Amino acid sequence: MTAARLLALGDAAWTVEFGDAIDPALHARVDGLERAVRAACAAGGEPWSAVVDVVPTFRSLTVHYEPLRCDGEALGTALRTLAAQAVPAVTAGRRWTLPACFAPAMAPDLPPLAERLGLTIDAVVQTLQQAELRVYQIGFMPGFPYMGGVPPALQVPRLATPRKTVPAGSIALAAAMCAVYPWSSPGGWHLVGRTPVPLFDLRRHPPALLASGDVVRWYAVDEAGFATLQARAEAGELDLAQWCRGREMR
């Protein structure tokens, strides 16, 4: 394994970088270091008592700390040591099977995408439903999951021209990634469906539904089923546990 790089992120954070690719092996190193850092913080003592947040990404881990409560250089040295010693791991995430509507009104890019790939619309939907999508990180906006595991047959570049507005709940594809837009926002990914499940809700704890290490599969619902579930979600009446099979190693 290549040595990790320690990068200063301003004067109140360190980033430990393991590589420059989206790769399960790199992400396992990130997971292993995150576990080690959280264990050190739980044990307490300097410099770990000054850590205020730990943020994993595809290929790196950022550790935020209060600079007046510890020696930043000492924390960097400790992180470098942990990165060299940490055992790669795969987070025991939850397994979700979430509803998705693939009707034309919910999936404007599905027909052109199918034509581009030389597949029928049904074949694209079935292939996507069969895929197990692993959440690598949450970013871009609160609750936005970057999920790997898109089958090669469905991998396409981003749109040449991004949309100014993407509806909340939109399921989108770009390259080997799948994502869901929790909020209405601009976006340049191919919109192939929509889920009625809110991925971020301040009435929940934690507010973000998905987390790094979770695995997601989609199952199809029609427009009437989508509308019913969306209404229940807006009323705060959805039982999210019905779609979660618990915590498993992948």
Residues 242 and 118 in one domain: yes
Residues 70 and 135 in one domain: no
pLDDT for 248 equals: 47
Residues 80 and 139 in one domain: no
CA–CA separation, 210 and 240 (whole Å):
11
Residue range 103-119, pLDDT digits in tens: 999 999 999 999 999 99
Task: Give the count of domains, the chain.
Answer: 2
Of the candidates 85, 106, 141, which is a domain's last residue?
85
pLDDT above 90 coverage of the chain, percent: 81
Residues 119 and 242 in one domain: yes
Put the strands of the sheet holding 145-148 in their side by side order.
190-194, 170-174, 177-180, 145-148, 133-138, 215-220, 94-100, 244-247
Residue range 17-38, pLDDT digits in tens: 999 888 888 889 999 999 999 9
Residues 145 and 54 in one domain: no
pLDDT above 70 coverage of the chain, percent: 97
pLDDT for 208 equals: 94
End-to-end CA distance of the chain: 22
Residues 111 and 194 in one domain: yes
Residue range 140-156, pLDDT digits in tens: 899 999 999 999 999 99
CATH of the domain at 142: 2.40.100.10
- Asked if residue 197 has pLDDT above 80, the reply is yes
The tokens describing 104, both together, are: 């034309």
Residues 75 and 164 in one domain: no
Residues 77 and 99 in one domain: no
Of the candidates 85, 108, 140, which is a domain's last residue?
85
pTM: 0.82
> How sure is the predictor about 227, in pLDDT bands with cuts at 50, 70 and 90?
very high
pLDDT for 247 equals: 58
pLDDT for 250 equals: 36
Average pLDDT over residues 50-70: 94
Q: How far is residue 246 from each of residues 92, 127, 240, 249, measured CA to CA in Å? A: 10, 24, 11, 10
- Asked if residue 91 has pLDDT above 90, the reply is no
Residues 26 and 80 in one domain: yes
Q: Which residue from 92, 43, 87, 74 is spatially nearest to 212, judged by alpha carbons?
A: 92
CATH of the domain at 11: 3.30.1360.40
Residues 63 and 19 in one domain: yes
Q: Which domain holds residue 105?
A: 94-247
- Asked if residue 204 has pLDDT above 90, the reply is no
pLDDT for 21 equals: 83
Average pLDDT over residues 160-183: 96
Of the candidates 63, 85, 107, which is a domain's last residue?
85
Residues 212 and 100 in one domain: yes
Residues 162 and 209 in one domain: yes
